[in-house]
Amino acid sequence: MVSSGESAPGPEPVRAGAGVVGVGTDLVDIDRFRRVLARTPRVAERVFTDGERAYAGSARDPVPRLAARFAAKEAALKALGVGLGGARFAEIEVERRAGGEPALLVRGAAARRARERGVDRFLVTLSHTDHLAQATVIAVAGGDGAPPTPDGDRAP
C-alpha cells in the first residue's frame, strides 16, 4: 500500500492551559471522489480555493491531494461541532507551509464558529493511499481566541 502523508514533523507545542475543543476525522474514497469531479467539474471550484487547486494541480494526479483536503474540510466541520451546512467548504482552506506540513485556515462562517467556541488553533494531518484519503483535525482553544485566517492574521 503506497502512502503519501502530509503531516507536521512536529507541531508547535500547545500552550499550558490550552484545551481541545473538538476532534474531527474523515475518510474519502479517492475513486468515488474522482468520479464526482469528472461528473461535475464545478465542484472543485466551489469546494477548493485557488491555492488548493494550484497545489493539487502540481501533482501528476491531483485527485488524491484534493480528496485529502476535502477530508480535512469535513473533519474541520466536525471539530467545530457544525454539520455540513455550518460553513461553506471554500471557507476552510488547507495550505502547505514552507516545511511541508499542512495548516488549516478559516474565514466566514467557519471563522465565526471557531471564535464562538474559543478556537485559536487547528492541528491537522492528512494522508492518502492509492484508494483512500484521510484527515484528522483538532480544534484547540486557550490562546488569544482568534482562529487563523488565510491572510496570516487572526480573525477579529
What is the domain class of 4-8+18-141 according to CATH? alpha beta
**Could you report the per-residue pLDDT of 74-106, keeping only the tens digit for each?**
999 999 998 777 788 999 999 999 998 999 999
CB atoms within 10 A of CB 70: 24
Helices (H), the chain: 30-39, 42-47, 50-57, 63-79, 108-116
The pLDDT mean for the chain works out to 85
Asked if pLDDT for residue 153 goes beyond 80, the answer is no
Tell me if residue 125 falls in helix, strand or coil: strand
Mean pLDDT value of segment 7-26 = 66
- The domain ranges of the chain are 4-8+18-141
**Could you report the per-residue pLDDT of 37-86, keeping only the tens digit for each?**
999 999 999 999 999 999 999 999 999 999 999 999 999 999 999 877 77
CA gap 129, 153 in Å, rounded: 33
Model pTM?
0.82
**Could you report the per-residue pLDDT of 99-138, keeping only the tens digit for each?**
989 999 999 999 999 999 999 899 999 999 999 999 999 9
What percent of the chain has a predicted confidence (pLDDT) above 90?
67
CA gap 126, 102 in Å, rounded: 8
Which position has the higher pLDDT, 114 or 155?
114
Q: Residue 44: what residue type?
A: A
Which position has the higher pLDDT, 135 or 1?
135
Q: At what angle do helices 50-57 and 63-79 cross, to 10 degrees?
A: 140
Q: For residue 16, what is its C-alpha cell?
A: 499550558
